[in-house]
């Protein structure tokens, strides 16, 4: 889907329906009686089914275009967020930050627009959640892309009569998207007040109207905190004020209350196997190591999530260390050339680096198709807690940051089912049991006790939010690092793969935009970056 138009929207739906409905084409000049036309009715639930799946898949599975990357566990966003690294390119790719032109997430916009149109056409004034959800997904789509490139078409995007829409500034994209989210909350709230709080048809997450309202507001907190660098010099956005409005009006803006409210994608044996297996990486745990950036963050504070993420490094066990010794868990430096990583880390018996926890992320039934892993969080309670803690630390809202910070940590531990005193089984890179450890949450919490509403406390909040993003929430760990510099990502070495060894700050504009909306796209590049579509430049969002 190009940014420039939604003109093929109904054609795409026609294809989707035609696939579902078996039919025969009797001749080249005859219409397919089973395929929908531009005037046909399509159930909004069918469209929502596609949209809610693409929330998990992101720009990768959605449409398979150049520049798209799967936002799923153990895929590239989590290498680039320095949670794990490849040591063998043939099976696990390389670690290079060598992206160029981005894909878009306008597939979601297309379906959201159609869903809204069909809901209005079919339901009229009858209460239904689809127009409200359409506004949420539109905002999500616009923000997904503007985070990557900067200015984008928004107000004119989707008009089939305008194939060359003008660009909106990133400031205006955020302003308009925040308004869409507020409207979505208001509409969903009205439905709930009318007693319409059933599970929404077509939603693969099986959420009620109220639960979707919580998702909208938790997501809006994410968006507002992502604007922290623009909170002072853009008074018209009222960023701290909008954040405070949500926190101070829980009846009007309901939020998550626990992990049970998380928007999560659950894996199953029938259709959605765990990604390690569906991507064909099941037998190749030895070709990927846990990254030093992440693992050092865990082991420094005796974080029990060390045992969730990693195996002890074989060389450390051979040297006589116990599996409960946090120094036995050693990460691989993403700065390092992949040939060196392969030499040091690919041999299961002698590797100097830790592997992913095979028992959790590879083993399962049948044959690892559904691992013993946690469901994939898209928008979750742990992140929301840290966002609120950060806002308090920054002085946006009143409250006790320490409470929200600790709640966020405990919620993240809860995602993995960790409890104080629990006996946890540790295995090697093949899943062979090495022994058990006792989970000590109390000592860990003492080690990371909140330092106060100051720079040190802010660093703690951001660090623990990074840990909580392990293998979930798409690009959020990367975007938070880009905004704050926390944690310190490794860069400057040849393993980064860029000419300078530095991590890019953005993506280049989609090729389709340069080809079909050339004048407006080039004007946006000129106004922001002096005419060069430069990956090393910050956009308005993070300058």
List Cβ neighbours of 117 (8 Å cut-off, separation of 6 or more): none
Min mean pLDDT across 5-14, 37-46, 363-372 is at 5-14
What CA–CA distance (Å, rounded) separates 328 from 348?
15
pLDDT value at 29 more than 60: no
Closest CA to 321 of 352, 298, 345, 300: 352
What CA–CA distance (Å, rounded) separates 54 from 341?
34
Identify the pLDDT of residue 33.
57
pLDDT value at 365 more than 90: no
Query: In this structure, what DSSP letter does residue 267 have?
Result: P
Question: How many other CB atoms are there within 10 angstroms of residue 47's CB atom?
Answer: 26
Bridge partners of residue 438, in order along the sequence: 423
Contact of 462 with 481, CB cutoff 8 Å:
no
What CA–CA distance (Å, rounded) separates 158 from 165?
9
Higher pLDDT, 530 or 17: 530
Min mean pLDDT across 67-81, 301-315, 326-340, 375-389 is at 67-81
Min mean pLDDT across 10-14, 84-88, 396-400 is at 10-14
pLDDT value at 451 more than 70: yes
The strand pair at 84-86 and 288-290 is best described as antiparallel
Closest CA to 485 of 302, 228, 296, 240: 228
Residue 35: which pLDDT band, with cuts at 50, 70 and 90?
Answer: low
| Mean pLDDT score, 381-399 | 99
Contact of 353 with 363, CB cutoff 8 Å:
no
What CA–CA distance (Å, rounded) separates 156 from 42?
25
**CATH no. of 9-65+103-255:** 1.25.40.390
Tell me the CA distances in angstroms from 380 to 214, 298, 385, 474, one per residue in order: 10, 21, 9, 12
pLDDT value at 23 more than 50: no
Residue 57: which pLDDT band, with cuts at 50, 70 and 90?
Answer: confident
Identify the pLDDT of residue 11.
37
Radius of gyration of the chain (CA): 24
Phi-psi sector, 150: left (phi>0), alpha (psi -120 to 50), beta: left
Identify the pLDDT of residue 280.
83
What CA–CA distance (Å, rounded) separates 259 from 408?
10
3-state secondary structure of 208: strand
Residue 60: which pLDDT band, with cuts at 50, 70 and 90?
Answer: very low
Identify the pLDDT of residue 65.
53
| Mean pLDDT score, 415-421 | 98
Identify the pLDDT of residue 59.
53
| Mean pLDDT score, 446-470 | 98
pLDDT tens digits, 245-303: 999 999 999 999 999 999 999 998 888 899 998 888 888 999 999 999 999 999 999 99
pLDDT value at 498 more than 70: yes
Percent share of the chain, pLDDT over 70:
91
Identify the pLDDT of residue 253.
98
Min mean pLDDT across 98-107, 123-132, 164-173, 462-471 is at 98-107
Identify the pLDDT of residue 4.
37
Give me the chain's average pLDDT, please.
92
What CA–CA distance (Å, rounded) separates 477 from 462?
10
Q: For 132-135, which contacts have Cβ atoms below 8 Å and span 24 or more sequence positions?
A: 132/183, 132/184, 132/187, 132/188, 132/191, 132/212, 133/48, 133/51, 133/184, 133/188, 133/200, 133/212, 135/180, 135/181, 135/183, 135/184, 135/187
| Mean pLDDT score, 525-534 | 98
Count of residues in the chain: 543
Identify the pLDDT of residue 357.
98
pLDDT value at 109 more than 60: yes
Identify the pLDDT of residue 160.
77
Min mean pLDDT across 8-17, 212-221, 315-324, 507-516 is at 8-17
Q: What is the pTM of this model?
A: 0.93
Q: Where are the domains of the chain?
A: 9-65+103-255, 275-477
| Mean pLDDT score, 377-388 | 99
Identify the pLDDT of residue 89.
95
Identify the pLDDT of residue 40.
77
Query: C-alpha angle 118/121/127, rounded to 5°?
Result: 90
């Amino acid at each position: 889907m190009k940014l420039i138009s939604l003109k093929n929207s109904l054609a795409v739906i026609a294809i989707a329906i035609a696939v579902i409905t078996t039919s025969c084409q009797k001749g080249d000049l005859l219409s397919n009686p089973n395929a929908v036309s531009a005037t046909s009715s399509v159930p909004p639930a069918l469209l929502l089914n596609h949209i809610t799946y693409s929330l998990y898949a992101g720009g990768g599975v959605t449409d398979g275009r150049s520049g798209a990357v799967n936002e799923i566990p153990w895929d590239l966003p989590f290498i680039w967020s320095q949670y794990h690294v490849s040591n063998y390119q043939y099976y696990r790719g390389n670690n290079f930050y060598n992206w160029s032109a981005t894909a878009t997430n306008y597939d979601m916009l297309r379906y959201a627009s159609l869903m809204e149109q069909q809901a209005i056409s079919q339901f009229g004034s009858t209460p239904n959640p689809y127009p409200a959800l359409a506004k949420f997904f539109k905002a999500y789509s616009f923000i997904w892309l503007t985070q990557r490139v900067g200015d984008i078409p928004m107000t004119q995007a989707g008009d089939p009569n305008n194939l060359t829409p003008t660009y909106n500034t990133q400031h205006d994209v955020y302003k308009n998207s925040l308004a869409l989210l507020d409207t979505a909350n208001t509409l969903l709230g009205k439905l709930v007040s009318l007693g319409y709080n059933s599970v929404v048809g077509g939603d693969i997450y099986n959420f009620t109207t109220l639960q979707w309202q919580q998702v909208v507001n938790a997501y809006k907190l994410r968006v507002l905190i992502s604007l922290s660098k623009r909170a002072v010099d853009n008074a018209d956005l009222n960023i701290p004020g909008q954040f405070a409005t949500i926190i101070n009006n829980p009846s009007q803006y309901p939020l998550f209350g626990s992990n049970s409210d998380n928007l999560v994608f659950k894996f199953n044996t029938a259709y959605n196997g765990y990604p390690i297996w569906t991507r064909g990486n099941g037998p190749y745990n030895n070709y990927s190591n846990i990254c030093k950036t992440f693992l050092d963050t865990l082991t420094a504070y005796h974080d029990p999530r060390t045992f969730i993420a990693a195996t002890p490094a074989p060389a450390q066990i051979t040297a006589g260390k116990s599996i409960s010794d946090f120094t036995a868990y050693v990460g691989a430096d993403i700065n390092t050339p992949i040939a060196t990583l392969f030499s040091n880390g690919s041999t299961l018996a002698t590797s100097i680096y830790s592997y992913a926890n095979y028992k959790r992320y590879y083993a399962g039934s049948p044959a690892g198709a559904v691992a013993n892993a946690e469901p994939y969080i898209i928008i979750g309670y742990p992140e929301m807690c840290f966002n609120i803690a950060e806002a308090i630390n920054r002085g946006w809202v009143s409250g006790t940051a320490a409470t929200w910070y600790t709640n966020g940590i405990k919620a993240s531990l809860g995602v993995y089912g960790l409890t104080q005193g629990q006996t946890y089984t540790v295995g090697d890179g093949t899943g062979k049991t090495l022994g058990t450890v006792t989970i000590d949450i109390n000592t860990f919490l003492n080690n990371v006790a909140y330092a106060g509403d100051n720079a040190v406390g802010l660093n703690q909040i951001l660090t623990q939010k990074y840990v909580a993003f392990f293998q979930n929430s798409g690009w959020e760990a990367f975007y938070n690092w880009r905004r704050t510099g926390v944690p310190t990502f490794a860069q400057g070495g040849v393993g980064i793969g860029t000419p300078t060894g530095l991590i890019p700050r953005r993506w280049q504009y989609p090729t389709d935009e340069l080809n079909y909306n050339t004048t407006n796209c080039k004007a946006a590049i000129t106004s922001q970056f002096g005419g060069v579509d430069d990956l090393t430049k910050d956009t308005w969002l993070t300058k």
